[in-house]
Protein backbone atom coordinates (compact mmCIF):
# COMPACT_ATOMS: atom_id res chain seq x y z
CA UNK A 1 0.00 0.00 0.00
CA UNK A 2 1.28 3.45 -0.93
CA UNK A 3 1.52 6.01 1.84
CA UNK A 4 1.60 8.92 -0.58
CA UNK A 5 0.02 9.84 -3.86
CA UNK A 6 2.46 9.52 -6.78
CA UNK A 7 0.58 12.30 -8.58
CA UNK A 8 1.09 14.56 -5.58
CA UNK A 9 4.77 13.65 -5.57
CA UNK A 10 5.15 14.60 -9.23
CA UNK A 11 3.28 17.85 -8.67
CA UNK A 12 5.56 18.79 -5.78
CA UNK A 13 8.66 17.91 -7.83
CA UNK A 14 7.39 20.12 -10.67
CA UNK A 15 6.85 22.96 -8.19
CA UNK A 16 10.36 22.45 -6.80
CA UNK A 17 11.82 22.57 -10.32
CA UNK A 18 10.09 25.92 -10.95
CA UNK A 19 11.32 27.47 -7.69
CA UNK A 20 14.81 25.93 -7.50
CA UNK A 21 17.64 28.46 -7.96
CA UNK A 22 20.57 26.04 -7.72
CA UNK A 23 21.28 24.63 -11.22
CA UNK A 24 22.79 21.40 -9.83
CA UNK A 25 19.69 20.65 -7.74
CA UNK A 26 17.45 21.61 -10.65
CA UNK A 27 19.27 19.12 -12.89
CA UNK A 28 18.74 16.35 -10.31
CA UNK A 29 15.06 17.21 -9.96
CA UNK A 30 14.58 17.17 -13.74
CA UNK A 31 16.29 13.78 -13.90
CA UNK A 32 14.04 12.47 -11.12
CA UNK A 33 10.95 13.77 -12.91
CA UNK A 34 12.14 12.08 -16.12
CA UNK A 35 12.41 8.76 -14.27
CA UNK A 36 8.93 9.22 -12.80
CA UNK A 37 7.56 10.01 -16.27
CA UNK A 38 8.96 6.69 -17.53
CA UNK A 39 7.19 4.95 -14.67
CA UNK A 40 4.00 6.85 -15.46
CA UNK A 41 4.01 5.49 -18.99
CA UNK A 42 4.61 2.01 -17.62
CA UNK A 43 2.18 2.02 -14.72
CA UNK A 44 0.07 5.13 -15.21
CA UNK A 45 1.01 6.25 -11.67
CA UNK A 46 0.02 2.81 -10.37
**Residue 35, pLDDT score:** 85
The pLDDT of residue 31 = 93
CA–CA gap between residue 35 and residue 14 (Å, rounded): 13
Q: How many Å apart are CA 29 and CA 11, to the nearest integer?
A: 12
Span 1-46, pLDDT tens digits? 456 677 788 888 899 999 999 999 999 999 988 888 877 766 654 4
Q: Half-sphere exposure (CA, 13 Å, Cβ side) for 17?
A: 14
For 16, which DSSP code? Answer: H
Quick one: pLDDT at residue 27?
Answer: 95
**39 close to 26: Cβ distance less than 8 angstroms:** no
Q: Determine the Cα–Cα distance for residues 21 and 37; give it in Å rounded to an integer.
A: 23
Amino acid sequence: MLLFSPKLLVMSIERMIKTEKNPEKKKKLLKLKEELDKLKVWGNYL
